[in-house]
Structures are given as C-alpha cells and as structure tokens.
Structure 1
Amino acid sequence: MKCVFLGNSMIIMKFGGTSIKDVSCIRRVIDIIQSRLDHSPVLVFSAMGKTTRLLLEAARSRAAGNSESADFLKKDIEEYHRNIASELFGRKGTDCNLETLLEEFSCAFRSIPVHDRLSDQDHDRLISFGERFSTAIMVSALKKAGIGAIDLDARRIIRTDSRFTRAKPNMDSTRSAIREHLIPESSRRTVVTQGFIGSDEKGNTTTLGFEGSDFTAALLGWGTDAKEIQIWKDVPGVMTADPLIIEDVKTVPSLSYDEVEVLTRCGAKVLHPMTMAPARKKVIPVRILDSTNPNAPCTLISRSGGKGGPVRSITIRKDMVTVRIKVSRNDASRLFQKMQSENKDAGCPWICFSEKDGITIVTSADNWKTVASSSGLLNYSQNFSSSMALISLVGAALTGYRLRQQEVFEMMGNIPVQILSCTISPMARHLLVKETDSLSALRLLHENIFCLKHPSNFYFEVSHVKDSACWIRQNGTID
C-alpha cells in the first residue's frame, strides 16, 4: 500500500527511540517532518535508542546500593546524549537545553534512597528524563533546520491518575489541557512533546506503561480531532509475524482497530494496548510507517480494516503456563468471575473446560502467581506445566471458523501441539506448544499460511461449537 495523506488537517507524528537513536537517524526524521509541514504536525518523541532501559537499570542499581554500576550507567547515558548534541550543534552542544536537564537528572538520581527497592514513583520520575532529553535535542535540531518548534512538556497536557508505572489518563482533564495549551500553540509553531509521560493532579510525574508513546500520540489525536495519527518505527508497518523471529514476513496493508487490539492482547508489541481506544472514539486512522524508508509499504488501521485473508498476523507469547484444576463447572464459573474482578491489572487468564472434571488455565507465569494467590486456586488439586508458548492466529475473518485439526497436526509433523477452542476473542485462534518447539511451530504456520500458493483458509472450517463450549485437541503429549 502506497502511503497517501487524507487531507490538510492536523496530523500527529510519533517517532520511536530507534528512529532517533543517532545523528543520521535524526536528520532523516527531520527530512520526513519537513515533507509534512503542510499538515500542521504535532510531534511526539520517545527516548533515544535504548535510553529507557539504561535509565531503569541505573536507577535500580542505585536503589540496590550498587553505586559503581549505577554511576557507570549514569555516565553512559549522559555521554550518549552529549555526543549527539555535540555532533548536531557543535563541540559543546550549547544550542539546546540538554545541560540544564542533565543537572536536574543528576539531582534526581542522587535523591534515590540507597539499599531499598526502587519505588514506582521514583521509577517514573527517573525514567521520564529519557523523553525529556530527546525532545530538548529534537527541538533544537528542528530549529536549526528552519522549523519553528516549541517543546511543550507532556506533563502539562497528559493528566493521569497516580498509578505510577501504569497510569491511566483522566480523559476530561487531558482534553481540557490539550485545548488550553497545545491547540493554541500549534497554530503558531510546530509543537514537540514527549511520549510516555504525564502527571497526576499533584504534579507528580507518571508514565503510561510499555510503548506508552503510542498511547500519547493517540490521546493527542483524540484531543485535537486530528486527521491522522502516524506511528513511525523501524519496520514497514505491522508484519505478518515478528520480523526478529521470522525472516520472510510481509507488511499487513490494512487492519481494523479491533484486530490490532486483539494482536496486542495476544502478545504483539507493535503498539501500546490502549492506543486504539482514543482513535476509535473519533474514528481517526492510525498509520504505522518505517522511518528508515518513508516510501516503504505501511499499515493503515481504521474502523473497517480493509480486505485480507482469514489470518492477518501471527503472535507468540512465551513463558506461559498451563494449570489443570479438578473443579466442578459451577466452581469454575465462580473462580473465573473472581479472577476477573480481583486481577484486572494482571490480566485475566484464558480458561478452557478440559474433559468433564475440571478446567485448564493458560496464562503467563507472572500472571499465574498473582491469580493463584488472590483467587483461591491453590486450594484445588492441580497439574502444572511451565515453559509453554501460546501461538495466536488473528484476523477478523476468523470469526465463526475453527482450525482444521487433522491438517494442522499434519503440518506440525513431530511437534506436539494443542489446539484451544477457547479464545480471548472471536478474531483469534490459539495453539499451545512447548517453548523449545515454539520457533519451529511458528515458522511452519507462517510459511503455510502466508508463503505458500494455496489459500490460508485450507486450515479453517466453519465452527459449529458455541464459544462457551471449550475443549482442547492435541496430537501428542506436551506436558
């Protein structure tokens, strides 16, 4: 799909950390921005390169009392940004506000209590410097390129609750702040702001969680009634599988909001899980583009999602566990409701009725620890299997269809696999394998569904099983 613009109204452009990791990347991004100035872009930047990971590692080392490691990481972060600024603006990089921020960072870093666990509030306060460093540098780089840019602190416009590390935006307050601060400024200059960060009602810095910069872009699109939200990464859109695992992946040209939400729930790290919600409310298209090659194929996410085969993309989640519990169906229903109410933040596990004497829970290892301790599951007889991987096939056209068991088993050959009829969405179908077999299974599925000449619906048939009737079929023992 060739990327074309949908009008001259405001667009939101978010650039990920790999898109601005060095000077050559920054200059390429500035060229991209210059080509789109007629669309009144609002620019959202993540932390540069691997800065967020290094900041977290440094902060944890400081809290743990490992001063040597903490100081080394801190120095590495500072030198990384100073070197970029120096290459862009001269030997001292004095054209940007970086040094002032670095001094503030040093003070905040030294204030972390030693020999204690890093608190969630300190986590957010320290991690936020990554985005603040990047916008300071990018604003100066844009000005040097002749673009009238202004750094608008995201903490002034993204208003959240106080759940540090996973803050939830206050939509009314955020909309009011966007209208008060961002929209008037955008009529005069190109607004640059940070992704990922916000502030609570007391002014404390908060963060939105993994890939939170995508969520920021969606919130700004929603608050400004933008014509389009653009997410610039280092891959050409949403792919048919993880390109770090599968070599011959293809760009999915179009997806629906619902399909992308299911992909993220199934483990795809393409976007923050909440990114689609603000865009859907205002029916704003979201486009995923490649900053390394702006003319490469891209993915357009919209309400309808366009045309495509039954499977749009395949995801994989490792470090999964399966727990078979002997319990009546009535008790199973009660436990499921309890897990939903008590473990909303941890995520609800998938439950399948196994035979007639119990249930099977499939969830992440971390989630199981939370679920089991708070839901009373440890009081029941269990059969526990760890080191599993859940492979999910996702596509709106899968609704009403199920996997053809025999064809899938033949495709997998000697790889033991379980097919789950129970699913987190009508748009998803799940297979369970051992982690040691997961890459081979994923490659076989991807090759047969996306790379061979026969249609991918060869592996699907109309389902006559109601969603509530869950079962497992397997071609071998995987416990």
Structure 2
Amino acid sequence: MALTIAKFGGTSVASYEAMQNCVRIVNHNPSCKLVVTSAPAGITNHLVSLGRGGLSTEQRDDIIEKIRTQVSGICEQLKEPELVKKKMMHLLADMEQIALVPELPNSLAFQDKLLCYGERLASLLLTACINESGKQAVEFDVRTVMRTDNNFGSANPDIEVLAELAKEKLQVLLKDSVVVTQGFIGETEDGQTTTLGRGGSDYTAALLSEALKARKCEIWTDVPGVFSTDPRIVSDAYPLPELSYDEAAEMANFGAKVLHPATLAPTLRNNIPVFVGSTKNPELGGTTIVKDCQEEPTFRAITRRGNQQLVTLHTPKLERASQFIGKVFQTLDNYGLSIDLITTSETSISLTFNAVHESNLAEASKLALADLANICVVEVTPNLDLITIVGNKLHAKNGSAGEIFEVLRNVRIRMICYGANPHNISFLVEDSESTEVIKNLHKSLL
C-alpha cells in the first residue's frame, strides 16, 4: 500500500471550519490513510497554564471553561453531535479531575497526563468530521503503539517496539478505514502517558511514517510551505518548492517555525519525502523536503532567532585550556543547554546557547551562568538576534562570503560562525538592526 501520512497542526483543527479543510485534503488523496492531529490551537497553552499551578479557583475554572467552549463549539456543528458528545464530556471531566490534583505543578508525569487531552479531543472530533463526509474513519489511541521511556516532558520513543506494535495493531486498520490518531503523546511500558516534547506532533507523524514504511509524510499547517524568510519581515519572501533534509534541519534549528529538527530524523533514515503545505490553500502547493534536491543554490533562505545573548567567558589561566573548555561544556550540559555558536581565543570563549526546552531557557541560563562565574569571568551581552543564511557549499564557492559581507559592510556584527557546516553561515547583530539586515540580505542574495 502506497501510504501517505498527513499531520494537521493546531490551527488546522482549531474550529469546525478548519477541520473541514482537513477533511477535503484527506478525501482528495486515496493514499492518505493515516491522520495525525495536534491539539486545537490554544488548548495546549491552556493545559500548560493549568499544569504550572499557582492559579486561583476562579482562574482555573476560567481556563477549563475556555477549553470546554472551544471543543463544544466544534462538536455542536457536527451533523450528529450526540455521537461524540458523551465521549467528549467524559474526556473533559477526566481532564478537570487531573487539573485538581495537588501534586500537578511539581510532577512532570501528571503534567504529561494532563497535556494529552488536547490531542485526544482533536482526534475524536476530526474522526467525526471525516465520517460525516461519507468516508469511513476510526479513531486510534497512539499510546498503544508509541512506546517511550519515562523521560516525562520530552520522552524518547523506542523505535523497534513502535515498529512491531504499529504492524500488529495499526496496519490492519489502514486496509478499510482512514485512521485518525494523536500526535505529541506516547506511553511507557507500565502505562503512564508521556509527551514527546516540542514539535512532538510532527515527530509522531515522522515516526509513524518510518514504522509503517510510508511513501510520503505531509505536514499541513497555516502557510503554503517553507518560505525563503519570514514573510512578516520581507513582503517579497516566497515559498520554496523544495529543500534538502540538511537545509530544512538548519532552517528549523535556527529559527524557522514550520518544522522541528527532530521531525526530519525518522524520514531521513528512510528517505521519505516530507511535504509542507497549507490547509487553507492546498491548491498553492508547498515545499517538498528530500534527501537530494534537483537544484542546490548557494543561497536558499534566511532565518532569524530573536532574544539571544552573547556570553563571553574570560580566564586568566593559560594552562590546561582543554580542562577549562570541558568544564564549560559540562556546566551547560548539566542545565540542558546546547551551544549554537562558539569562537575561542587563548584566554576567552564566546558562545550562544539554546535550551532543549525553550520555556526553560531563561532559568537554565541564569543557573548556568552563576555556576560558570565560579571558574571564570562572565560577560553577557543581551538584546541580540541570530541571523542564519542557509544554502549549499557556502564555504566552497568563491565569492559567496564576499557577497554576504558586502551587504553587511555597515553592520556591527558581534559574532560570526562560518565553515563548520557547508549549509549555513550565522552571525549576531543588534536586535534593532536585524530586520533591516534580513531585508537587505534577501534582496541581494535571494
């Protein structure tokens, strides 16, 4: 079976009207037999707020009512809402009970158990929408196949067990029905609900594509593909017809919001094309991500990651430099921080870093810098933006750096990273200048 797996993002399932766009896409493609859904837009944020605690009874009840109103609004527009209303109300009641658990704010396990309800509600309602269109669809609990470890908040799937369980429990359903399941969530061997972390729904679709040997993995969102840069910055930005896995990973890692780098790993392992398109305008096409592109331009796209800080670590001790660098790396790792850019001199290291969990970046950064201050002098420069030019063989083509620096000749660059990867060149600029820098680079290079 030439299987296509379609993942629909939060904005694509945020309302009854949005879900109808998903239905049309599924019905238009006979090979689209497995659908992965995110939570309706806004609901995961509400659930995260509930999980953090510190809310008054009134605030908690208000959040729960917002979730209830959003999904009930979808349900009431179904042709036969009573077919799903009972299960929907049961899910909402269970969700509310977990929101009342005193241990919730201090337990990642309970928070994961709470977060799963956004996707579970979405899959219930989207299945109903597909069924009422005349196509047979069944809802499937992904947790029965998505076996993970117990690293709550960012669980790691067991690829081999997933493949076995998917073949045993999921493959047979695909013969006769469209199967609708949840992204983002999984389950430990002893039955505890987990979440796959940031970008988890895209990751789910890719993992299932690998497990079921799909022909194609489609990521449906609210934009018609991956753009040459953020169209909110540059009005002339355009969707890219194709990207290589390497290019797409660099874009995602350095600020593009459409895809998460982890999404690409399972599809890359199996050379499965990934398509990114818009549920609102599927006729516009989108971006196909493949191992090898037909064309590999020197400059493909420009990304920006805001709210960056440049950290410079000074040590007067020239001896045992390797031990100093090792301590720096170990300290950052202890707090879940990964280095993006780094340059070194005989007595200093300058770097930028990011967090595995973006929401923890500020706190992790504060703690890490306090530890580093015990072994060296720490200097922090805030209010910077990281701009990355993504392309091909940037370090090999004569004159490519010259083209870039000609545009940047009047820009104060605080740090640059070039040559470590043939697919990108990254640099830090003042945040007040970055918008104009991107506009000029896009006009000159793309």
* TM-score higher than 0.5: yes
Task: Report the alpha carbon displacement of residue 446 of structure 1 after superposing the two structures with TM.
Answer: 1.9
**Match in the other structure for 1:89:** 79
User: Residue type of the partner of 1:85?
Assistant: C
Task: Report the alpha carbon displacement of residue 58 of structure 1 after superposing the two structures with TM.
Answer: 2.9
Task: Report the alpha carbon displacement of residue 233 of structure 1 after superposing the two structures with TM.
Answer: 0.9
Residue 167 (1) aligns with residue 155 (2): yes
Task: Report the alpha carbon displacement of residue 336 of structure 1 after superposing the two structures with TM.
Answer: 4.0
**Match in the other structure for 1:50:** 42
Residue 41 (1) aligns with residue 33 (2): yes
**Match in the other structure for 1:348:** 339
2:384 maps to which of 377, 388, 392: 388
The more displaced of 395-404 and 170-179 is 395-404
Residue 449 (1) aligns with residue 445 (2): yes
User: Residue type of the partner of 2:383?
Assistant: S
C-alpha separation between the residues in 2 aligned to 1:424 and 1:25? 43
Aligned partners of 1:151 and 1:192 also within 8 Å: yes
Which whole-Å deviations, capped at 9, do the CAs of 1:271-329 have from their partners, x for residues lacking one?
Answer: 12211111111111111111111111311111113314212221111221112223467
Task: Report the alpha carbon displacement of residue 93 of structure 1 after superposing the two structures with TM.
Answer: 6.8
Which whole-Å deviations, capped at 9, do the CAs of 1:171-191 have from their partners, x for residues lacking one?
Answer: 111111111111111112211
**Match in the other structure for 2:142:** 154
User: Residue type of the partner of 1:259?
Assistant: E
Over 3 Å counting, the alpha-carbon distance change for 1:421 and 1:40 in structure 2 is closer
Residue 77 (1) aligns with residue 67 (2): yes
Residue 428 (1) aligns with residue 424 (2): yes
**Where in structure 2 are the equivalents of 1:295-334 lying within 5 Å?**
295-327=283-315, 331-334=320-323
Matched residue count: 436
**Match in the other structure for 1:108:** 98
Q: Which runs of 5+ in 1 are unaligned?
A: 1-7, 451-479
C-alpha separation between the residues in 2 aligned to 1:133 and 1:337? 47
**Match in the other structure for 2:19:** 26
Give the match's secondary structure for 2:439.
Answer: helix
User: Residue type of the partner of 1:11?
Assistant: T
Over 3 Å counting, the alpha-carbon distance change for 1:338 and 1:326 in structure 2 is closer
**Match in the other structure for 1:186:** 174
C-alpha separation between the residues in 2 aligned to 1:276 and 1:330? 42
Aligned partners of 2:8 and 2:220 also within 8 Å: yes
Over 3 Å counting, the alpha-carbon distance change for 1:331 and 1:250 in structure 2 is farther
C-alpha separation between the residues in 2 aligned to 1:172 and 1:242? 38
Task: Report the alpha carbon displacement of residue 91 of structure 1 after superposing the two structures with TM.
Answer: 6.7
1:235 maps to which of 223, 226, 247: 223
Aligned partners of 1:423 and 1:430 also within 8 Å: no
Give the match's secondary structure for 1:312.
Answer: strand
Percent of pairs with identical residues: 28
Residue 277 (1) aligns with residue 265 (2): yes
C-alpha separation between the residues in 2 aligned to 1:200 and 1:403? 53
Aligned partners of 1:405 and 1:419 also within 8 Å: no
Task: Report the alpha carbon displacement of residue 200 of structure 1 after superposing the two structures with TM.
Answer: 1.3
C-alpha separation between the residues in 2 aligned to 1:74 and 1:152? 25
C-alpha separation between the residues in 2 aligned to 1:325 and 1:403? 33
**Where in structure 2 are the equivalents of 1:100-139 lying within 5 Å?**
100-113=90-103, 117-139=105-127
Give the match's secondary structure for 2:134.
Answer: coil
Residue 176 (1) aligns with residue 168 (2): no
C-alpha separation between the residues in 1 aligned to 2:399 and 2:94? 56
Over 3 Å counting, the alpha-carbon distance change for 1:191 and 1:76 in structure 2 is same
**Match in the other structure for 2:350:** 360
Aligned partners of 1:257 and 1:305 also within 8 Å: no
Which whole-Å deviations, capped at 9, do the CAs of 1:224-248 have from their partners, x for residues lacking one?
Answer: 0000101111111111112343322
Give the match's secondary structure for 2:338.
Answer: coil
C-alpha separation between the residues in 2 aligned to 1:269 and 1:335? 35
Residue 225 (1) aligns with residue 213 (2): yes
**Match in the other structure for 1:474:** none
C-alpha separation between the residues in 2 aligned to 1:49 and 1:75? 15
Task: Report the alpha carbon displacement of residue 221 of structure 1 after superposing the two structures with TM.
Answer: 0.3
Task: Report the alpha carbon displacement of residue 424 of structure 1 after superposing the two structures with TM.
Answer: 5.9
Over 3 Å counting, the alpha-carbon distance change for 1:402 and 1:79 in structure 2 is farther
Q: TM-score, normalised by structure 2?
A: 0.90
C-alpha separation between the residues in 1 aligned to 2:50 and 2:413? 41
Give the match's secondary structure for 2:89.
Answer: helix
C-alpha separation between the residues in 2 aligned to 1:402 and 1:438? 26
User: Residue type of the partner of 1:186?
Assistant: L
Task: Report the alpha carbon displacement of residue 358 of structure 1 after superposing the two structures with TM.
Answer: 2.0
Q: TM-score, normalised by structure 1?
A: 0.84
User: Residue type of the partner of 2:16?
Assistant: V
Q: Which runs of 5+ in 2 are unaligned?
A: 355-360
Residue 98 (1) aligns with residue 88 (2): yes
User: Residue type of the partner of 2:45?
Assistant: R
User: Residue type of the partner of 2:432?
Assistant: T
Give the match's secondary structure for 1:97.
Answer: helix
Which whole-Å deviations, capped at 9, do the CAs of 1:12-36 have from their partners, x for residues lacking one?
Answer: 1101011121122111211111011
C-alpha separation between the residues in 2 aligned to 1:306 and 1:337? 42
Which whole-Å deviations, capped at 9, do the CAs of 1:364-392 have from their partners, x for residues lacking one?
Answer: 46464454456x46411233211211111
Aligned partners of 1:351 and 1:422 also within 8 Å: no
Give the match's secondary structure for 2:120.
Answer: helix
The more displaced of 294-303 and 91-100 is 91-100
User: Residue type of the partner of 1:46?
Assistant: S
Aligned partners of 1:402 and 1:429 also within 8 Å: no
Give the match's secondary structure for 1:117.
Answer: helix
Task: Report the alpha carbon displacement of residue 52 of structure 1 after superposing the two structures with TM.
Answer: 0.8
Task: Report the alpha carbon displacement of residue 408 of structure 1 after superposing the two structures with TM.
Answer: 4.5
C-alpha separation between the residues in 1 aligned to 2:84 and 2:268? 42
C-alpha separation between the residues in 2 aligned to 1:123 and 1:243? 35
1:397 maps to which of 393, 398, 406: 393
Which whole-Å deviations, capped at 9, do the CAs of 1:395-414 have from their partners, x for residues lacking one?
Answer: 23324359867764553465
The alignment yields a C-alpha RMSD, in angstroms, of 2.5
C-alpha separation between the residues in 2 aligned to 1:447 and 1:378? 46
C-alpha separation between the residues in 2 aligned to 1:109 and 1:384? 39
C-alpha separation between the residues in 2 aligned to 1:359 and 1:403? 29
Give the match's secondary structure for 2:123.
Answer: helix
C-alpha separation between the residues in 1 aligned to 2:215 and 2:325? 41
User: Residue type of the partner of 2:61?
Assistant: D
